[in-house]
Amino acid sequence: KNQVEQSPQSLIILEGKNCTLQCNYTVSPFSNLRWYKQDTGRGPVSLTIMTFSENTKSNGRYTATLDADTKQSSLHITASQLSDSASYICVVADRGSTLGRLYFGRGTQLTVWP
């Protein structure tokens, strides 16, 4: 069964600190992995997309890594800010269909305290 598991479920850190969120998946055949940020009451916003051949991608203070062999990804947030408080969702696409079926994790709820 294709699944995407994220950990931790929730995380609280102090402003200015770094943190790393984890994503494990069993989706096959793999096409790409995406990280989204979802603010409370809003739609998700794309942070990064990585294909099989990419093992790291950055977007400002966000750096995503991908190990397609172990089927693991991480999202590292550097020098956290209060505005980073949100749910971070890992999404994996398969390549078994034209649509590119997406499998969503439940997200990690990050809270940044001042």
Nearest CB to other proteins, comparing residues 13 and 49: 49
Separation of alpha carbons 50 and 55, rounded Å:
7
Task: Find the binder of other proteins among 19, 32, 75, 77 (CB under 8 A).
Answer: 32
Is the Cα torsion angle 41, 72, 112, 63 positive or negative in sign?
A: negative
CB 102 within 8 A of CB 93: yes
**Number of amino acids touching other proteins (CB under 8 A):** 23
Rounded distance, CA 32 to CA 54, Å? 9
Question: Is residue 111 a contact point for other proteins (CB under 8 A)?
Answer: no
Judged by the rule CB under 8 A, the positions of this chain that interact with other proteins are 4, 31-32, 34, 41-46, 49, 51, 89, 93, 95, 99-100, 102, 104-107, 109
